[in-house]
Amino acid sequence: MTFVTTAAAEPSPSAPRRARGEQTRQLILETALRLFRERGYAETTMRAIAKEAGVAVGNAYYYFDSKEHLIQGFYDRNQAAHRAAAEPVLTGETEFAARLRGVLHAGVDVNEPYHSFAATFFKTAAEPSSPLSPFSRESSPARDASIAIFRDVVEGSSAKLDPELRKELPELLWLGWMGVTLFWVYDNSPEQRRTRRLIDGAVPLIDRLVALSRLRVLRPALRQILALIESVRRDD
């Protein structure tokens, strides 16, 4: 005779608590982003965020140690949103240029609500020692998630690539995306149309360069470029 226990089917008492905790965390993050847009990053304090969110200051610090940690939370959520926005083109296109163009435009779409305070915030993130820098150790989860999107651009495309370039191209595309983001930060054209034109003009050039990289005559130059990238990457 087999006895069936129902203990495993019972919900964990901690599950509702975790759900409430995640709701509170998201409330604090949403409130912070709204205040950053309304007041600016530098002028917004953790105390003001807690007050607007209707939580105790200590509770705000429980979920986020500082404003910098709030921004890291924003980075993580932003990358998830970028992935979701890019999914239709990544699943529906195989041409490299179309995939890259779609992913770049999706990134601009996701960032658009935060353009009003982006320049003020960038002044902090641009400091080499700032944990908010996209190149910092603290930003590595969001950076890796972003590079992974560009890796999918490359791996899911029909482009024929030199094997060494295929390995390095996702990070190179991410660096290009950082350049586009910087341009977008200071783009005051309506709906940041100049950034859109930059993307539409740059993608065919990148596509052409990627195609040319397969030519045997260019392989020595490609190897030199990749070796230079590797030497710059090293700490020694």
> Above 70 in pLDDT, residue 46?
yes
Contact 108, 199 (CB under 8 A): yes
> Above 50 in pLDDT, residue 52?
yes
Distant-in-sequence contacts of 110-117, Cβ < 8 A, 24+ apart: 110/78, 110/81, 110/82, 110/85, 111/78, 111/181, 111/184, 112/191, 112/192, 113/37, 114/33, 114/36, 114/37, 115/184, 115/185, 115/192, 116/37, 117/36, 117/37, 117/40, 117/41
Which pair of structure tokens corresponds to residue 150?
A: 């560009």
> Above 80 in pLDDT, residue 215?
no
d(CA 206, CA 188): 25
Average per-residue pLDDT in the chain? 84
Task: Tell the residue number behind the tokens 């950082």, with chain if given.
Answer: 178
pTM of the model: 0.80
The pLDDT score that the predictor gives to residue 232 is 55
The pLDDT score that the predictor gives to residue 2 is 44
Cα 185 to chain centroid, rounded: 15
- Which stretches of 10-137 are DSSP H helices? 14-39, 46-53, 57-63, 67-92, 96-111, 115-125
- Dihedral (Cα; 53, 55, 58, 60), 10-degree rounding: -30
Q: In this predicted model, what pLDDT tens digit does every residue of 80-101 receive, in sequence order? A: 999 999 999 999 999 999 999 9
Nearest to residue 226, comparing CAs of 143, 137, 180, 162?
A: 162
d(CA 174, CA 179): 9
- In the chain, the domains with their CATH numbers are 15-65 (1.10.10.60), 67-233 (1.10.357.10)
**Could you say which DSSP state residue 51 is in?**
H
Share of the chain above pLDDT 70, in %: 84
Higher-confidence residue of 156 and 130: namely 156
Band (pLDDT 50/70/90 cuts) for residue 228 is: low
The pLDDT score that the predictor gives to residue 156 is 94
- Give the DSSP H/E element, type plus range, for residue 169: helix 163-185
d(CA 47, CA 42): 13
Q: In this predicted model, what pLDDT tens digit does every residue of 13-36 receive, in sequence order? A: 566 667 777 889 889 988 988 888
Q: Average pLDDT of 210-233?
A: 69
